[in-house]
Chains A and B, each alone.
Chain A
Amino acid sequence: MSKHLIIKGREVVEDDWQVLRLAEPVEGAPAHDPATVAVPEGKFIVPLSLWLAQRDVLAARTAAGEIAVWIASDERPETLKGLLDQFPLIAVDFPKFTDGRGYSIAYNLRTRLGWTGELRAIGDVLRDQLFSMRRVGFDAYAVRADRDPHDALKGLTDFSETYQASVDQKVPLFRRHARPAPAVANNDGAGI
C-alpha cells in the first residue's frame, strides 16, 4: 500500500488513502461510469457520484472505514445530508487552484451540515491557498504531488489576525477586540 505525505492539522504526516478519479482509466472496467467502476482493494476516497451509485456494493467496506468520498467543485455537499456519519473523512476537490467553489462547499459542510470529522482538500492544492482553506474549515491538505508539503505548511500561518468570521473563527474582529476610537491625526510617513 502506497504511503504519501499530507498535511493534517499543522503537521506533515504519512497517509495511506488513495484518491479514485473517474477520469483516470481503471483496469478492467469501462472508464467514466460511476455505476460500474470497481473500487480496488485498499482505502479509497471515491467520487461522490460513484459512492451514491454503488452504496450497496460498498456498504461493507464503508462500514469498515475503508471508503471515503470526495466532492467535485460542481457538486452540492447537501447531497450527503444525513449520510455523513459513516465516513472517516470527506474530501473536496480543487480542479484548479483558481476554482473557489471548494471554499463554499467546505463552509457549508462545516456550518450547515455539521461535519466535524476530517475535511481534506485534494487536487490543485498549493501553499498560497492553504490559509484560506484552513479558515473555511479544512483541516487536512493533500498538497499537489510535485510540491513539498513541508514548504506548503508555511502557508497556514501567513496571518495572525483576520477581519471577518468564517469556520475557524466564528466571530468577526469587531466582536473579538475593543478597537480604538479615532485618535488625533497622525503623521507617520508624512516626511517622505
Chain B
Amino acid sequence: MYQYDQFDHLIIRERIAQYRDQVRRRLADELTEAEFLPLRLQNGLYMQRHAYMLRIAVPYGLLASKQMRMFAHIARKYDRGYGHFTTRQNIQFNWVELEQTPDILSDLASVEMHAIQTSGNCIRNTTSDPYAGVAADEIIDPRPYAEVLRQWSTFHPEFIALPRKFKVAINGAVEDRAAIAIHDIGLTVVRNDAGEIGFKFMAGGGMGRTPIIGSVIREFLPWQHLLTYTEAVMRVYNQYGRRDNKYKARIKILLKAIGVEEFTRQVEEEWADLKDGPETLTVEEMQRVIDYFQPPAYKTLDDSDAALQAQAADSKAFGNWMKRNVKPHKVPGYAAVVLSLKKTGVPPGDATAEQMDFMADLADRYSFGELRVTHEQNVVLADVEQSQLFALWQEAKAHGLATPNIGLLTDMICCPGGDFCSLANAKSIPIAAAIAERFDNLDYQHDIGEIELNISGCINACGHHHVGNIGVLGVDKDGSEWYQVSIGGAQGNNAAIGKIIGPSFSALQMPEVIDRLLQVYLRDRFEGESFAECVARIGVAPFKEFVYATPIAEKGGRLVGEDEYV
C-alpha cells in the first residue's frame, strides 16, 4: 500500500500545526464559531448531539494493521472504547473533546493518517472497491489512481470552498462495488480497443433530497488526463454550482439545470486550456504510485475446494460463513474474507477497541498485515490462504466478527442517526436493531438471500436508503419520528433509485413492514430470483397492496403508528 515520503509527512505535519493553532484561537475566542466551523469540518470534526465527532480518512478504504491498532488506541484514549466505520470507508469517533483533537491528529500522523477533507464543502476521500487488487473480475487496480487523486485534491487551493461537498468514487472491475453512479464523480478504469488505460467519466450522481444517477460525460479519458479533466469539472462546478440553497448546491443539480450536453461542453471548453498542461500525469509518476500497490508475496497454491467442502459439510455454521463471508480471489489458493460488523445487538459498523486490535492481529497473521473497510460498513481481509479459512473462522467467531450475513438482510447499511447526529430527523440504529432482532434466524435470512436494506435517519442519505433494495428513511412529522419505506433501489452496475411505497410508519411498525415485504417476495418470487429482481419484475404495487392491507399492531394486538388513529 502507499507509504508517505518526506513530502507527505511534511504536509501532514504542517497541517497539524495549522489546525492546532486554529483550535487554540477558537478556544481563546479569536475565531468565532461561524469562522471555525468550516475549518474544523475540513478536518472531519462535527458537533453532534452530545459531543464532537471526528471522522478520520481511510484512503479508498485501505488500512495497514498498525493503522487499525491506532484506531483502537484512539478509541481507548480519547473516546469510549469503540469507533464506527462509515459508508464512505472511513471511521468516526463519536465522543472526542475539541481540545484533544490536535493530539489525535499527531497520533494518526505517526501511522500516516489524517482527517483532512473528511467533511466540509470540498473534495472528500476517494472511495473504491474493497476487493481492489484481488477481485477476479478486476480490469485495472483503481487504487493508484485514487491515491493520485488524494494527493491532487488535498488542500487544492481553488476548491476548498465549493458550493457543497464533493465525493469521488473509482471502480476498476467489471462489477461496480464502489457505487460510482451515486457519486459527484464516478470513475471506471477501462481499456479501449487499442488496449490503453483510461476512465469512463461519470458526473452528477448523488443521493440526498434529490437522488440522481450520474451521467457519462466522457466515454474514454486517457489516464494521463485524469487530473486536468477533473480540474475542469471542478472549475465549472465551483463557478456555476448554486450557492443560494444548500439542498440545490450539489453538482447533480447543476447538471440537471443546464443539461448533460451543455455541462459537458463547458467542461470540454475549460479542459481545452488545461489539457497537456503540467498536471498531466507522467508515466514515471504513475508507475511510482503503482509500485506501491504491488501484490504481496503469494505462495504458489492450488484451490483447496475439496478440503473446504469437507469442513463445510462437518460444520453447517462454517458452511454458512463460507457461503456468505468468503469471496473469490484472483490468485489460486487464496480467498477474501469479510469480517461482519453487523452482529445483532450492535449498531451496524461499530467495532470495539478490542475488536480493532483483534482484526489487526488477524490481518498480521492471515492477510499480509492489510485490511479494507467496505462501504457496507464491514472489514475485509483480502488475502487469506484457503487452507487457513477454518482456523480464521473459529477465531473471528470467538470475537463476534463471523456473523454469516454478508449481503443478507441483517447486513444493513445504517447511518448513526438521531442517537448521535444533529442533522437526523429520526433514530436509525434502533430501527436496525429491531429489524435485526426480528430476523435473527439465519436459515430464514439465507432463504431470503441477497438483499440490501439501507437505513438513513434523514434526507442527507448517509445510510444510502435510495439505493437499498429496501430503503428506510427517517422523517419528522409534527415533532415525532416516522419512517418512509421505498423498494426497488439498487447499487452496482444496475444502480437504481427506489420508489416510495406509501405513507410512513412508526418505529414499532417497521419490523412488521419488512416482514410483509418479504412475505410478498417469498410468495411471488421465481426460483433463484433475488428480492431486487422480483421487485423489478412485478413492480411496487403487490408489495404496497399487501403492506397496507391490514393495520399493523404491536405484540398483544394494540394498534401502533398511524393505524392507531384509524
In A49-97, the 8 Å CB interface with B consists of 97
Give every chain A residue within 8 A of B15 (Cβ-Cβ). Answer: 159
Known interface pairs A97-B161, A100-B158, A189-B70; A161-B7 also in contact (CB < 8 Å): yes
The interface bits of chain A over 81-117 (1 if a CB of B lies within 8 angstroms of the residue's CB, else 0) are 0000000000000000111110110010001100000
Known interface pairs A98-B121, A190-B69; A107-B151 also in contact (CB < 8 Å): no
Rounded to whole Å, the gap between the CB of B103 and the closest CB of chain A is 12
Tell me if A132 counts as interface (CB < 8 A to partner B): yes
Cα distance, A16 to B491, chains bound together (Å): 59
Tell me if A160 counts as interface (CB < 8 A to partner B): yes
The interface bits of chain A over 155-175 (1 if a CB of B lies within 8 angstroms of the residue's CB, else 0) are 000111111111000111111
Cα distance, A152 to B121, chains bound together (Å): 23
B239 touches A171 (CB 8 A): no
Rounded to whole Å, the gap between the CB of B294 and the closest CB of chain A is 8
Beyond the given pairs A97-B35, A161-B11, 18 more chain A to chain B contacts, judged by CB atoms under 8 angstroms and listed by A's residue number, are A97-B38, A97-B161, A98-B38, A100-B158, A103-B159, A104-B235, A129-B160, A158-B14, A159-B15, A163-B7, A163-B11, A166-B156, A166-B158, A175-B278, A181-B288, A182-B294, A192-B70, A192-B110
Q: How many residues in B have their beta carbons less than 8 Å from beta carbons of A?
A: 54
Contact for B161 among A99, A170, A177, A180, CB less than 8 A = A99
25 contacts between A and B (CB under 8 A): A98-B38, A100-B158, A100-B160, A100-B161, A101-B243, A103-B160, A107-B235, A128-B22, A129-B160, A133-B157, A159-B18, A160-B14, A161-B11, A162-B11, A163-B154, A164-B151, A164-B153, A164-B156, A164-B157, A171-B278, A185-B3, A185-B369, A189-B110, A189-B111, A192-B111
Give every chain B residue within 8 A of A97 (Cβ-Cβ). Answer: 35, 38, 161
Known interface pairs A162-B11, A189-B66; A100-B111 also in contact (CB < 8 Å): no
Tell me if B152 counts as interface (CB < 8 A to partner A): yes
Tell me if B10 counts as interface (CB < 8 A to partner A): yes
Cα distance, A183 to B9, chains bound together (Å): 15
A165 touches B238 (CB 8 A): no
Known interface pairs A98-B38, A112-B273, A174-B282; A160-B10 also in contact (CB < 8 Å): yes
A104 touches B238 (CB 8 A): yes
A172 touches B278 (CB 8 A): yes
Give every chain A residue within 8 A of B22 (Cβ-Cβ). Answer: 128
Q: Which B residues are within 8 Å of any A CB, using their own CB?
A: 3, 5, 7, 10-11, 14-15, 17-18, 22, 30-31, 35, 38-39, 64-66, 69-70, 73, 107, 110-112, 121, 151-162, 227, 235, 238-239, 243, 273, 277-279, 282, 285, 288, 291-292, 294, 369
Give every chain B residue within 8 A of A120 (Cβ-Cβ). Answer: none
Rounded to whole Å, the gap between the CB of A170 and the closest CB of chain B is 6
A161 touches B110 (CB 8 A): no
Known interface pairs A128-B39, A187-B66; A104-B278 also in contact (CB < 8 Å): no
Rounded to whole Å, the gap between the CB of B3 and the closest CB of chain A is 6
Cα distance, A161 to B369, chains bound together (Å): 31
Contact for B10 among A100, A111, A133, A161, CB less than 8 A = A161
Contact for A103 among B66, B69, B161, B279, CB less than 8 A = B161
Cα distance, A92 to B52, chains bound together (Å): 35
B151 touches A163 (CB 8 A): yes
Cα distance, A185 to B111, chains bound together (Å): 12
Contact for A177 among B7, B279, B294, CB less than 8 A = B7
Tell me if A135 counts as interface (CB < 8 A to partner B): yes
Cα distance, A161 to B456, chains bound together (Å): 40
Tell me if A17 counts as interface (CB < 8 A to partner B): no
Cα distance, A151 to B24, chains bound together (Å): 14
Q: Which 10 A-B pairs have the closest CB atoms?
A: A100-B161, A189-B110, A135-B157, A132-B157, A190-B66, A189-B111, A174-B285, A103-B158, A163-B151, A158-B18
The interface bits of chain A over 126-138 (1 if a CB of B lies within 8 angstroms of the residue's CB, else 0) are 1011011101100
A163 touches B66 (CB 8 A): no
Find the residue from A136, A175, A192 having the highest chain B CB count within 10 A: A192
Give every chain B residue within 8 A of A166 (Cβ-Cβ). Answer: 156-158
Contact for B107 among A136, A187, A192, CB less than 8 A = A192
Give every chain B residue within 8 A of A161 (Cβ-Cβ). Answer: 7, 10-11, 14
- Which residue on chain A has the smallest CB distance to residue B113? A189
Give every chain B residue within 8 A of A183 (Cβ-Cβ). Answer: 3
Cα distance, A165 to B285, chains bound together (Å): 15
Known interface pairs A99-B161, A104-B238, A189-B70; A162-B155 also in contact (CB < 8 Å): yes
A101 touches B110 (CB 8 A): no
